Amino acid sequence: MSANIRSLLSVITNPVTGNSLESENRLELVDVQGDKVVIQYQRDGISPQDKRVIETAIYEALKTSYPMSNITVKTSSTSSQDVYKAVEGNTITKAEEPQQPAQLKTGHGSIGNKKSIEGVSKIIAIGSGKGGVGKSTFTANLAVTLALQGKKIGVIDADIYGPSLPMLFGKRNEKPKSTPDKKIIPIEAFGVKFMSFGFFINENDPVIWRGPMLGGVLNQFLFDVNWGELDYLLIDLPPGTGDIQLSMIQNANVDGAIIISTPQDIALLDATKGLEMFKKLKLPVIGMVENMSSFICSNCDHEHFIFGHGGVEEAVKKLETNFLGSVPLEIELRKSADDGKPYMSNPQNAGRPVFEGYQGISEKVHNFFHSPVGPANGKSGVISKIFGFMNK
Ligand SMILES: Nc1ncnc2c1ncn2[C@@H]1O[C@H](COP(=O)(O)OP(=O)(O)OP(=O)(O)O)[C@@H](O)[C@H]1O
Ligand SMILES: [Mg+2]
């Protein structure tokens, strides 16, 4: 079997020399374990960019035989460094000659053991079947809502295609620093600690090059960030249900998943795939949220059901999962996202349908883990306590 793989890999060249890895005796290991394969090559003299080119070529060469999530690519070299190192007054920058990202530790594959993070009580993955359904806006506002309720919250923006948390939290120009023991210090805003791909990737990098960085960097965000004590760590996943999303979360000890959908049939169909993905990973699904469920007109306060009504609530019955609640379309929510001030951080929004929606959802999420009967079905609870935390 490994001989077949070796022949598939014979086309992979070292971009520096143009010779095949095989002819340069760089292919050190091709190990097939059931439906998974581990490949190791010698990478001395190969730049991080060329390493990404090689790894993308490996995934391409093997894609008809193995899904990306089942391929682990390791490298060996004569020296070893982390993907990021602290230089210049503790500012985290890409290492000049990064050795292996944390891929080396757990890779893209499912071979590593699932790990918990010390001090972090629950990890929640937030996914959507398709892009643009409001997943990042939801993640940021759920984080702020939980923080306002006195919980200690962290957020990982794992969306390489469109990292948006720095913008949503008004921290676009921040550069994360590191502790003396090389732990990345998360950025803090609105009572929430967060870390984002946006702080590290070069927006001009072709997306295909970002793929191979994923497993490793997400692992760094999970395990090499100074999260401290957290009640919840939320992960904003890239949209979709492909190998990338799967490989990102299969090594982390995720406690539950939330799926965001809009009410249209087509979005729901995709959201169903998201649900299947989480089930495949044997991840407890906390439930589904309907975003942009209706439009509240700011002139007349009338509720318009532009995309239909109750689609997600209907769907969860068939899918045997929980309905966590709905968040209507409101112009102010979009504006606050663009202004970098999450809607839920503004006390003037208290009592509005979006605000109530987030409160109800955050309670159901909390109850999922802390109530013996699972998520509560009631509406949101007491609002008055919520700003006590902010005003401290
Ligand atoms: N309930 C809402 N009311 C009004 N605007 C909203 C609402 N939810 C999201 N938006 C807006 O919709 C747009 C898309 O939202 P967002 O970026 O959060 O989606 P996403 O699912 O994370 O997208 P992507 O797939 O690109 O990551 C943003 O402009 C956001 O402000
Ligand atoms: Mg997003």
- pLDDT tens-digit readout, 7-36: 889 888 888 888 889 999 999 999 988 888
Q: Which structural domain range is residue 156 located in?
A: 120-391
Query: Does any domain span residue 104?
Result: no
17 and 164 in one domain? no
pLDDT attached to residue 72: 84
Count of domains for the chain: 2
54 CA distance to ligand 2 middle (Å): 28
Give yes or no: residues 326 and 268 share one domain. Answer: yes
pLDDT of residue 368: 94
- Whole-model pTM: value is 0.69
124 and 63 share one domain: no
CA of 330 to the centre of ligand 1 (A): 11
Question: What are the helix (H) ranges across the chain?
Answer: 2-9, 48-62, 103-106, 135-148, 165-168, 207-210, 214-223, 243-249, 265-280, 311-319, 331-339, 353-370, 386-391
Is 136 touching ligand 1 by the criterion CB < 6 Å?
Answer: yes
The pLDDT of residue 205 is 59
What's the CA angle centered on 189, arms 187 and 193, to 5 degrees? 50
DSSP annotation of 101 reads -
Q: How far apart are CA 257 and CA 250, in angstroms?
A: 12
Q: Which residues pair with 327 in a beta bridge?
A: 291
239 and 382 in a common domain: yes
- Beta bridge partner(s), residue 289: 260, 325
On whether both 44 and 128 belong to a single domain, the answer is no
Which positions ≥6 away from 89 have C-beta within 8 Å?
Answer: none
The answer to whether residues 176 and 70 belong to one domain is: no
Nearest CA to ligand 1 atom 31: 334
Which among 46, 53, 232, 247 has a CA at the least distance from the CA of 149?
A: 232
Q: How far is ligand 2, taken at its centre, from the CA of residue 32, in Å?
A: 36
Ligand 1 atom at minimal distance to the Cα of residue 137: 18
Torsion of CA 321, 324, 329, 334, to 10 degrees: -110
SS3 225: strand
User: Are 52 and 187 within one domain?
Assistant: no
Query: Does ligand 1 lie within 6 Å of residue 137's CB atom?
Result: yes
With 0-12 / 13-18 / 19 or more C-beta atoms within 10 angstroms meaning exposed / middle / buried, residue 253 is: middle
The residue contributing the CA closest to ligand 1 atom 15 is 134
Query: Which atom in ligand 1 lies closest to the alpha carbon of residue 291?
Result: 1
Shortest-distance Cα residue to atom 23 of ligand 1 = 132
Q: From atom 25 of ligand 1, which residue's Cα is the shortest distance away?
A: 131
Q: What is the CATH number of the domain that holds 9?
A: 3.30.300.130
Q: Is residue 186 within 8 Å of residue 194, measured between CB atoms?
A: yes
What CATH code is carried by the domain that includes residue 237?
3.40.50.300
114 assigned to some structural domain: no
326 within a domain of the structure (yes/no): yes
- Cα(222)–Cα(82) distance, integer angstroms: 15
Alpha-carbon torsion (293, 131, 245, 339), positive or negative: negative
Atom in ligand 1 nearest the alpha carbon of residue 130: 25
Within a domain: 203: yes
- Distance, CA of 124 to CA of 147 (rounded, Å): 15
Please give the DSSP secondary-structure letter assigned to residue 82. Answer: -
What local confidence, expressed as pLDDT, does residue 141 receive?
A: 98
Cα 164 to middle of ligand 2, angstroms = 6
For residue 66, the model assigns a pLDDT of: 83
For the Cβ of 330 lying below 6 angstroms from any atom of ligand 1, the answer is: yes
* 312 shares its domain with 241: yes
Could you identify the atom of ligand 1 that is nearest to the CA of residue 159? Answer: 27
Q: Which of 78, 103, 130 is the last residue of a domain?
A: 78
The alpha carbon of 101 and the centre of ligand 1 are apart by a number of angstroms equal to 31
Residues of the chain with pLDDT under 50: 80-112, 209, 374-392
Kindly give the pairing relationship between strand 192-196 and strand 187-189: antiparallel
Q: Which two tokens stand for residue 218?
A: 């997400």
Establish whether residue 132 lines the binding site of ligand 1, counting it when its CB lies within 6 angstroms of any ligand atom. yes
Residues 31, 129: one domain? no
Residue of 137, 258, 260, 264 with the most ligand 1 atoms within 8 Å of its CB, for mutation: 137
Contact 122, 232 (CB under 8 A): yes
Output phi, psi for 341, to 5 deg: -130, 95
Ligand 1 binding pocket includes 159 (Cβ within 6 Å): yes
C-alpha 107 – ligand 2 centre gap (Å): 24
Task: Let me know if residue 207 belongs to a domain.
Answer: yes
Per the DSSP assignment, residues forming a β-bridge with 235 are: 125, 156
Probe target for ligand 1 pocket from 164, 295, 334, 358, with the most ligand atoms within 8 Å of CB: 334
Name the residue among 141, 152, 164, 165 with its Cα closest to residue 345.
141
How close is the Cα of 18 to the center of ligand 2, in Å?
38
What distance in angstroms lies between residue 337's CA and the mean position of ligand 1's atoms? 8
74 and 157 both lie in a single domain:
no
Q: Are residues 173 and 314 in the same domain?
A: yes
CA-260 nearest atom, ligand 1: 21
Spell out the residues 6+ positions from residue 70 whose beta carbon is closer than 8 angstroms to its own. 35, 36, 37, 109, 110
How far does residue 144's CA lie from ligand 2's centre (Å)? 16
* Among 78, 109, 140, residue at a domain's last position: 78
Does the residue 112 lie in any domain?
A: no
The secondary structure of residue 343, as a DSSP letter, is G
Is residue 101 domain-resident?
no
pLDDT of residue 97: 33
Q: What is the pLDDT of residue 233?
A: 97
DSSP reduced 3-state for 122: strand
In a domain, 286, yes or no: yes
**Contact 149 CB / ligand 1 (< 6 Å):** no
Q: What are phi and psi of 255, to 5 degrees?
A: -90, -20
Is the same domain home to 186 and 296? yes
